[in-house]
Amino acid sequence: MNTGKFQSLEQKLQNYSNPVEMLRHAKVGGYAFPFPGEYTNWRDEQEAWTKSVVIFDQSFHMTDVYFEGPDVKRLISDLGVNTMKNFGANKAKQLVTCTPEGNVIGDAILFGHTDEKISVVGRPSVPNWVDFNARTGNYDVEITRDERTVSNAADRLIYRYQIQGPNALDLIAKASGSPLPDIKFFNLGDIKIAGKNVRALNHSMSRSKGLELHGPIEDREAVLEAILAVGEEFGLRRGGSRSYSTVSPESGWIPSPMPAIYSGDSMKPYREWLSASGFEANASLGGSFYSSNIEDYYQTPWDLGYGRHVKFDHDFIGREALEKKAEMPHRQKVWLQWNDEDVMRVFASQLGDGDRFKYMETPNAYYSILPFDKILLGDQMVGLSTYTVFTANVRHWFSLAMVDEAVVEDGKEVRVVWGEEDGGSNKPIVEPHVQTEIRATISTKRLNERS
């Protein structure tokens, strides 16, 4: 628990006029990936997941919470919008959770280790929500938390390596010394590397083939050394945090939805449970979209591309609200390819005298954990742009966005407002600047699939 002025998120919120004020002036920048920025250079590291093979060390930045006992499946079925009929031992699933009002708290990966043991892995929003309900509800489960490194002075319990690219499976087979088992998509299997038992998840990243490997933390170095030892033959690159931060926009995943927990009586007990020093109380909000109403930042499963995950074959928190929302208009997740000339104008403004536009850090220009930039069509706001990056695979700046489905059309031009109102905020990472507009083109297809 926090030993400072506030102990809970709810107590901290009472010190602000609204939750938006707290989040917009949070002092942190983007989400922390506590591993080297580059091992070679981020351009080659990006290209490796489409041309050869890359390994990312995911051992540090995600929260893992384990739940074990006879009620684990009932627990996750009560919380997830997903069906749990096809989940069990040696299965994985993208778990999406909502508030009673049908707004997204977040998503995480659900691992089925046995029929009575699961883990919830991802940014803290969903692991925390499942933990809270397990402790406060009538569930016979035991809970073990393995905090991400920035919140954890001890060693992690497991290592996790993501190995992706056209050469990934051949590399892993060579490191294993034997043919790989046939592991179906989002299923878990067992292999050996360096004499160590390794659990393997068939989980594509940026739509490249490969496996996610994990095992006890004490095996971490031995497994990594065995992989690196055969890597040159397959064009292996180690991926640093700069290239890793661009994976999700290229693959089409919005990694940090706004947790819809900051308002409403239904979520007050949860806010009272959450620590004032935790992720939800200190996440930073940035971008050109501004509203004093935190609920204008909340997202539905359809906004995030999770509409297909919503299954009304079970009772879960938020079901009644989602049944109503299902028939309403939605926003649709798309890619926006930013206009090259307008992007170059932003970079040119950094030179010489005069007004400058908000700096675009390369290759990752999102400077807060929760980025929201306005999208305009004519004089109307038609959506929100989120994670803005450049990759050597796409060869353009682009972002993931949520756009009113009525205006979604491949090739349609919109405008993204870049920069914050009144020249910035109290975030140390935001310099004084002026807003500008950048033309962008809507695409419903992953951008490097078109070239």
DSSP state of 430: P
Structure tokens at 19: 């939750």
Task: Classify residue 253 by burial, with Cβ atoms within 10 Å: 0-12, 13-18, 19+.
Answer: middle
Let me know if 86 is exposed, middle or buried by CB neighbors in 10 A (0-12, 13-18, 19+): exposed
Contact 54, 246 (CB under 8 A): no
Contacts of 188 (CB under 8 A, 6+ apart): 90, 91, 92, 111, 112, 199, 200, 201
Instruction: Find out whether 278 and 9 touch, Cβ atoms under 8 Å.
Output: yes
Bridge-based pairing of strands 236-239 and 53-57 is parallel
The reply to whether 212 sits in an annotated binding site is yes
Contact 253, 399 (CB under 8 A): no
CA distance 286 to 386: 10
> Phi/psi class of residue 204: alpha, beta or left (left: φ > 0; alpha: ψ in -120 to 50)?
beta
User: What 3-state class would DSSP assign to 29?
Assistant: coil
Give the C-alpha separation, 427 to 279, whole Å: 16
Say if residues 244 and 228 touch (Cβ distance below 8 Å): no
CB atoms within 10 A of CB 218: 11
What's the half-sphere exposure (Cβ side, CA atoms, 13 Å) at 251?
Answer: 21
Q: Which residues are annotated as a binding site for substrate?
A: 212
- Binding-site residue numbers are 212
